[in-house]
A and B are shown apart, each in its own frame.
Chain A
Amino acid sequence: MTNLNSRQRKMSYGIGIILLLGPIVYLGFPAEQNVADSSSGGLGKLAQMRQQYDLGEATLGKVDPSSSAMNLVLLGLRGPAASVLHLKAIEYQEKKQWAKLKTTVDSIILLQPHYVQIWKFQGWNLAYNVSREWDKVDDRFYWVKEGIKFLKLGTERNQTIPILFHNVGEVISSKMGISDEKKFFRVFFKQDPDPKFEVSPGQRGPDPAINEEGKDSYLVAHDWFVKANEKDDNDDLIGVKGMTHVFFRQGPAKSLINYAETRTKEGAFEEHIAAWEAGFKAWMEDYGREEFLGLDDKVYTLAPSEEELKQQAERNGITLMAQRKLWESNVKMVNFDFWRRYASAEMDPVTLNLHKTFFDAKQLYMQGKGFDRLDPATGMTVPSEAQVKLEEAMQRWLEAKQKFSSMFEDGRYIDEAMLIVQYWQAIHQQNARPIPDDYPLKKYWVENSYKHSEIEREFQMETRGRKLE
């Protein structure tokens, strides 16, 4: 027993507390971290060490303070609580209570912020499943954005997981680019339908949360794929969980090719050659030169020179033949050669001319310039402007085919040829003229007769919503 009285004892406790607080603050203070370059500074010794050794939550992204609070509230019953919330989320989804679904999902990720599958699943769930439950296209877009924002949040909380970065790019790329609503979504991506994003009267801007700079959806997706690859770079050659590495890494190059392809379809021919060249370069020089691990962890690249192939064989300790076989099988797997040939064909002015001529012909047709005209000079009926353009497109197609003969055996060019013929035949029909016995692309039209109904459907889809301007 001491001789101190109550007050003195309390004083000594107080001093003890303050003294102990010093080192605790010094050790436990959160680090001023810069996630982008993984540097850290500030007072927090423990936090710095955690970051240095890649331990704990500090380096895994911004620690959510409410997440820790939640853990305390639940007295460590984090697993069961998360399971109950998962069940709730499914129930809310079944009962179409979207607001509750979203808050429940938000609660789940507070409990399990580093469980990658949840981010992946719920991001996809919001962007795809929930989105399609809504009827109007602007509502669908809202939920696609929710899904993207959710995945984006996942990347912020999990800075070291490349697949999440890749997923953001994937959702943006496929939802805006190939979904049923792509026609609207591509516009919405730059001009959000939400009145909140009005920049000037009648003029909407993008939602900065998904498209800060108002760029094309494929270019935004490209940035995310690049980030995903950068994150992946930190892991040397360890593959990405949940995806074949060689497919994972093609994101940036593929999105540039998709961008070029889509812009061509949209008639942005001034960008055509530059866009395709960028795509080709990314495919050949970036993606094609990356090293991957094949079967039995043997290294290969997709576009090696003969010399490089030899070096790789040596490095792998296998024969040149075996290395070539390894290369061939992987090149086939990602269809590398097709995309190379496709991009190189498209970046050629001959192909540009073909697309442009056909595009112009379609425009003329849409503008109602598909009817035969009376030449005032001769008083004779002459073919419509659209027909003339279409016949020019047929010639252009044959020219391009001559230059890229093997590529033009491919479905998409054959389809284009048949669509040209379809338009051309439609013009004949609307002018009540019989289809001539012979015409430039007849061979392809006859050879692929099984595609007629498909092409007709496409023709109808393209022309159904036409506006006379």
Chain B
Amino acid sequence: MDFDISPFNLSSAAMSWLMLLGVLTLISVGLSFVLCVARNGASGFTIFTSGLRSYLGDLFSLSPKRIYALTKLTLLEAIRRKALLVFVVFAILLMFAGWFLTDTNSRPELQVSIHVTFLLTAIAWLILPAVIFLSCWALPEDIRIRSLHTVVTKPARRLEIVIGRMAGMGIVTCLVLVVMGVIGAVWIYRKLPENSRSQLTCRVPVFGQLYFFDTEGQPAATGINVGDTWMYRSHIAGNSRARAVWMFPGIDESSIVTETVGTGEEAKTVEGLKMECRFEAFRTVKGSEKSVLQGVQAQYTLSANPREEAFGMLSQGEALRPVADALRDGQFRNGSERIKELATRIRSNPDELRPADYLGLQNGLAVAAMVLNRMNQTTIQPVAEQFDLASGSGRSLIDVLQRNNVTGSTEKPPYGAFADSLEKLAESIQQNADVLHESLPKLEVPLPAFHISEYHEGAAENTTMVPRKLRFAADYETLARFLSGVFEKWSEEGKLVEADAISPALVDNLQKDASVSPLNAELLATVLNEQLAAGALKISEGKLTVADGRRWFAFFDDLIRKELLISQDTEGWLIEKDLIKDLVSSGFLRVEVACLNDQMYLGMARPDLFIRKPDRSFLVGYTKALVSIALMLMLIIILGVTVSSIVKGPVALFFTLTFFIVGQFFHEFMMRMLSGQEQGMGTLESAVLIAQHRNPQVGMDVSSTTSAVLKGADKGLEGVLRVFSSIVPDFSVFNRGAAFVENGFDVPFNDCVVPAAAIFVGFLVPCVLIAGAMLKFRELEAK
């Protein structure tokens, strides 16, 4: 499935709707006034005001009782008109659908998708013609056979007639839909082959944001294109530094699922995060027999990496890369030197850097300031402030550069001030290097590699259960942080010293309280005793501390770098971390994906990796999809009734059908055309080109005047299209829900059902008002 929908912004949609409504009201009121005056002369004004008053009176004296009566009437009429015959067609389709669909040989996941697609399409497309006919033909037919005349003589307002019609037909449609939905649900459970039924669930995904690292480990918006015409996925190269990075928002306790792993006596419940992928594999070589049989290998690494978040954006230009690399690696003193060098370059030879570099630098500084400020730690606040100041100074520099570029003025860009601010920043980083290193910990937890199972939606191979408690072999940095944490605490508690020597119980404590393996605990005790003897550690006031006053972190970091703490265990220094507490920062979980096989590629798009919350029943998603369909059908009813309140049946039918077809099939195209994404030229120009058998590169063979006239006319037509595009609803929104269910996902309420409901309500209000007015002021006898 290739869904990658952008979130729906209800408030901005509501704002533009209100504006449109206001404009339409003004135009229609103004137009009626002008017509009234034109037709009736001076008395037109009185006629207009009395009409408007009467209409507003109708509007504010609607009677629910009368509307109910009219609704009931419509309902009965629809039944009399055999609208429900649609059931017969549905039943026949379902009876024979098996011929087309059931193929016991097909794979379970394909079976589910095929059956659900058929069912939802059949339901929507069967009711659709009935609804269009019913809504477009009812009112004109009533007028023709004069049955409406008997209604309007009653004290029923015409607005009420419209509302009653819409409500009645809406209820019939919903009834039909509910019955079809129930029959459909039963049919699908019965019809699906036994082996496919377990696949009939709704996965609840949490999608994240995706970006890439290229083969050199630099951030990039996309990966490699392996030559697919469909640009949906991009690929990362195997056995390289290329990674796909997902940031999943809103990960907390509620995302944790409990699952039973294994069967029989080995079964145990595991608590953790469930991740599912739908990666694609691309091979440039056939690969080993193992990979041919099992598939390409991928590996997830969960990481909390504030350094990457803060300084990753600095690596946008070649000139800035050394700075970024040093800071990302935690080499802050080195980074400070690189910034100083950069400042010197800017001061002495500012033109060496391209304007894009300055922009990238300023952007990177701003992001760093933002991330550091967000961390809310007083120790790193001075550095954050310097980043802020440098970013501000960079902003003023860029402003001048842009002004010079646009206006051609020769104002001197404040390179010196910017270089000063960078030097101050470098100084601050230098001074706070240790604090920064300690406050910006990088934690990486590589998970076991797995073979992907391409195109097997929801297959076990593609699902990974990440346990809540992660036990993994620590890298240098994590080990130093772990040991310093333990020793700082124990030193405070005085647990480390006994009779002016390192406590003999240390080995036991390390094993018992810090889960260190016996071999490594022995090693650590030995090394510490050696360090004490060598004077690197000291014991004062019953406490063990680092002799030169450094923090424990720096001490252990040093030991590890000197390779004095190489694990005696083959498994390495195993330590335990909590998935939610230690790896999720500000609600975000960062997952890096790597491809392990050389010369092979993994392809991915944003929705291709997601975290699965506990599954919901198939019926939940199915119901939401049906609600979307119901909203679409009711929207068509509203449109049909509105149009048929002024024109005759066939015209109303064509109008509604056109509206629907354009909205369903061409809305996206229309929007692409208006936003300039679609290549090509205007309607008339294209027509001329076709007639002249010429291509767009050559252009029309006409005089410049004709060309100008044609292009002008095309602009006019484009204006018409623009107006039309803001009136025609995007019917594809109503089908989104179905696409999710077909692929075994739950329908996201905010991104599918809410937009559908918003479009429905957005049309309901103006349509009721317009239809009411049309019916009120038209002459019923004018057939």
Tell me if A69 and B454 are in contact (CB < 8 A).
no
Residue numbers in A under 8 Å from B286 (CB-CB): 180
- Shortest Cβ distance from A152 into chain B, in angstroms? 12
- State whether A103 touches B294 (Cβ < 8 A): no
Interface flags for A385-421 (1: CB within 8 Å of B; 0: not) read 0000000000000000000000000000000000000
A379 interface contact, C-beta 8 A: no
CB distance from B599 to the nearest CB of A (A): 14
Question: B110–A135 contact, CB under 8 A?
Answer: no
- In the complex, whether B249 has a CB less than 8 A from a CB of chain A is no
> Does more than half of chain A's interface fall in helix, strand or loop, or is it mixed?
helix
B513 within 8 A of A: no
Contact across chains for B105 and A209 when beta carbons are under 8 A apart:
yes
Decide: A136 and B100 in contact? CB cutoff 8 A.
Answer: no
Q: Counting CB contacts under 8 A, is A16 at the interface?
A: no
* Given A96-B230, A136-B295: A103 touches B99 (CB 8 Å cut-off): no
CB–CB A135/B229 < 8 A: no
B60 contacts A by Cβ under 8 Å:
no
Do A136 and B289 contact each other (CB < 8 Å), given the known contacts A69-B96, A99-B114, A102-B106?
A: no
Quick one: which of B117, B229, B283, B456 contacts A94, CB cutoff 8 A?
A: B229
Q: Cβ of A332 < 8 Å from any Cβ of B?
A: no
Nearest CB in chain A: distance from B160 CB, A: 40
| Cα distance A56–B484 in the bound complex, in angstroms | 87
Nearest B residue to A136 via CB reads B295
B296 touches A135 (CB 8 A): yes
A98 within 8 A of B: yes
Task: Flag if A100 contacts B117 (CB, 8 Å).
Answer: yes
Q: Report A91-141 residues with CB < 8 Å from chain B CB.
A: 94-100, 102-103, 106-107, 110, 133-139
* A117 CB → nearest B CB, Å: 22
Contacts of B110 in A (CB 8 A): 98-99, 102
Of chain A, the residue at the smallest CB distance from B112 is A99
Chain B nearest CB, measured from A181 CB (Å):
7
Cβ of A184 < 8 Å from any Cβ of B? yes
Nearest residue, chain B, Cβ from A65: B99
| B-chain residues with CB within 8 Å of residue A106 when the two chains form the complex | 100
- Residue among B110, B292, B294, B296 with most chain A CB within 10 A: B292
* A99 and B229 contact, CB distance less than 8 A: no
Interface string of B1-36 (1 = CB under 8 A from A): 110000000000000000000000000000000000
A465 at the interface (CB under 8 A from B): yes
B491 on interface, CB distance cutoff 8 Å:
no
**What 1/0 flags go to B102-120 for Cβ under 8 Å of A?**
0001110110011001000
Contact string against B for A residues 53-66, beta-carbon threshold 8 Å, 1 for contact and 0 otherwise: 00000000000011
Interface residue B280 (Cβ < 8 Å from any Cβ of A): yes
The residues in B between 292 and 307 inclusive whose CB is less than 8 angstroms from any CB of A are: 292-296
Closest residue of chain A to B287 (Cβ to Cβ) is A135
Contacts of B109 in A (CB 8 A): 99
Which residues of the other chain, B, contact A110 by a CB distance below 8 angstroms?
A: 100
Residues of B near A181 (CB, < 8 A) are 292
Cα distance A137–B451 when bound, in Å? 13
Q: What is the CA–CA distance of A180 and B110 in the complex, to the nearest angstrom?
A: 26
Nearest residue, chain B, Cβ from A183: B289
A98, A133, A136: residue with the most chain B Cβ atoms closer than 10 Å: A136
Contacting pair B454 A135 (CB below 8 A): yes
B474 at the A interface (CB under 8 A): no
Number of chain B residues whose Cβ lies closer than 8 Å to a Cβ of chain A = 32
Task: Report whether A139 and B100 are in contact in the complex, using a CB–CB cutoff of 8 Å.
Answer: no
* A366 CA / B504 CA spacing, docked (Å): 58
CA distance A139 to B296 in the complex (A): 13
Instruction: Known A65-B99, A181-B292; judge A136-B453 contact (CB<8 A).
Output: yes
A96: chain B residues at CB < 8 Å are 230, 280, 455
A134-B455 contact, Cβ under 8 Å, with A99-B114, A100-B117: yes
Q: Are B283 and A135 in contact (CB under 8 A)?
A: yes
Q: Is residue B604 within 8 Å, beta carbon to beta carbon, of the partner chain?
A: no
Q: With A95-B232, A99-B113 known to touch, is A137 a contact of B100 (CB < 8 Å)?
A: no
Instruction: Tell me whether B281 is interfacial, beta carbon within 8 Å.
Output: yes
Chain A residue nearest to B453 in the complex (CB): A136
Partner of A135, one of B107, B232, B281: B281
Q: Chain A residues near B101: list those with CB within 8 A.
A: 103
- Please name all residues of chain A whose beta carbon is closer than 8 Å to the beta carbon of B96 when the two chains form the complex: 66, 69
B380 at the interface (CB under 8 A from A): no
A136 and B117 in contact, given A94-B229, A94-B230, A180-B286 (Cβ under 8 angstroms): no
Beta-carbon nearest neighbor of B603 in chain A:
A96
Chain A residue nearest to B101 in the complex (CB) = A103
Complex: chain A residue closest to B98, CB-CB: A66
- Can you name the residue of chain A whose Cβ is closest to the Cβ of B89? A73
Please, how many angstroms separate the alpha-carbon atoms of A465 and B291 in the complex? 13
Shortest C-beta distance, B296 to chain A (Å), equals 6
- The 8 Å CB contact of B230, one of A66, A95, A136, A465, is A95
B174 within 8 A of A: no
Residues of B within 8 A of A97 (CB): 1
CB distance from A40 to the nearest CB of B (A): 24
Q: How far is the CA of A45 from the CA of B74 in the complex (A)?
A: 52
Which of A98, A133, A136 is close to B292, meaning CB atoms less than 8 Å apart? Answer: A136
Q: How far is the CB of A414 from chain B (nearest CB, A)?
A: 26
Asked if A136 contacts B294 (CB within 8 A), the reply is yes
B99 touches A136 (CB 8 A): no
Against B, the Cβ 8 Å flags (1 = close, 0 = not) of A70-90 are 000000000000000000000
Across the interface, B454 reaches (CB within 8 A) one of A100, A103, A107, A139, namely: A139
The listed residue with most B CB atoms (<10 A of its CB), out of A65, A96, A98, is A96
Any A CB within 8 A of the CB of B452: yes
Report yes or no: B293 in contact with A137, Cβ–Cβ below 8 A: yes
**Chain B positions within 8 Å of A137 at CB level:** 292-293
Q: For residues 310 through 339 of chain B, which have their beta carbon under 8 Å from a beta carbon of chain A?
A: none
Residues of B within 8 A of A149 (CB): 105
Residue of B nearest to A69 (CB): B96
Cross-chain contact of A139 among B114, B229, B232, B455 (Cβ < 8 A)? B455
Q: Residue of A at shortest CB range from B461?
A: A136
Residue of B nearest to A106 (CB): B100
A416 to B232, CA, bound (A): 48
Q: Which residues of B contact A136 (CB under 8 A)?
A: 292-295, 453-454
Contact with A along B247-274 (1 / 0, CB 8 A): 0000000000000000000000000000
Which residues of chain B are near A142, meaning CB under 8 Å? 107
Q: Give the contacting residue for A98; candidates B230, B280, B455; CB below 8 A.
A: B455
Please name all residues of chain B whose beta carbon is closer than 8 Å to the beta carbon of A133 when the two chains form the complex. Answer: 455
Q: Annotate B448-468 by CB proximity to A: 1 below 8 A, 0 otherwise.
A: 000011111000000000000
Complex alpha-carbon distance, A138 and B461, angstroms: 14
Q: How far is the CB of A135 from chain B (nearest CB, A)?
A: 4
Contact with B along A29-55 (1 / 0, CB 8 A): 000000000000000000000000000
Nearest B residue (CB) for A110: B100
Chain B residue contacts of A100, Cβ below 8 A:
113-114, 117
Q: Are A135 and B230 in contact (CB under 8 A)?
A: no
**In the complex, what's the smallest C-beta–C-beta distance from A73 to chain B, in angstroms?**
9
In whole angstroms, how far apart are the Cα atoms of A100 and B112 in the complex?
A: 11
Q: Chain A's nearest CB lies how many Å from the CB of B523?
A: 39
Within B604-626, the residues touching A (CB, 8 Å) are none
> What is the distance, in angstroms, from B191's C-beta to the closest C-beta of chain A?
15
- The complex places the Cα of A110 from the Cα of B101 at a distance, in Å, of 12
Centre residue among A99, A107, A135, A138 by max chain B CB count within 10 A = A135
- In the docked arrangement, what's the CA distance between A180 and B280, Å? 20
Within 8 A of A (CB), among B444-494: 452-456
Q: Beyond A107-B100, A137-B292, list 13 extra A-B contacts (CB 8 Å).
A: A95-B2, A95-B232, A98-B455, A99-B113, A103-B100, A103-B114, A136-B292, A136-B294, A136-B295, A138-B293, A142-B107, A180-B286, A181-B292
Q: Give 5 closest A-B pairs by Cβ, nearest first.
A: A99-B110, A135-B281, A135-B454, A66-B99, A136-B295
21 contacts between A and B (CB under 8 A): A99-B109, A99-B113, A100-B113, A100-B114, A102-B106, A103-B100, A103-B101, A103-B114, A107-B100, A134-B455, A135-B283, A135-B296, A136-B292, A136-B294, A137-B293, A139-B456, A142-B107, A181-B292, A184-B292, A184-B293, A465-B289
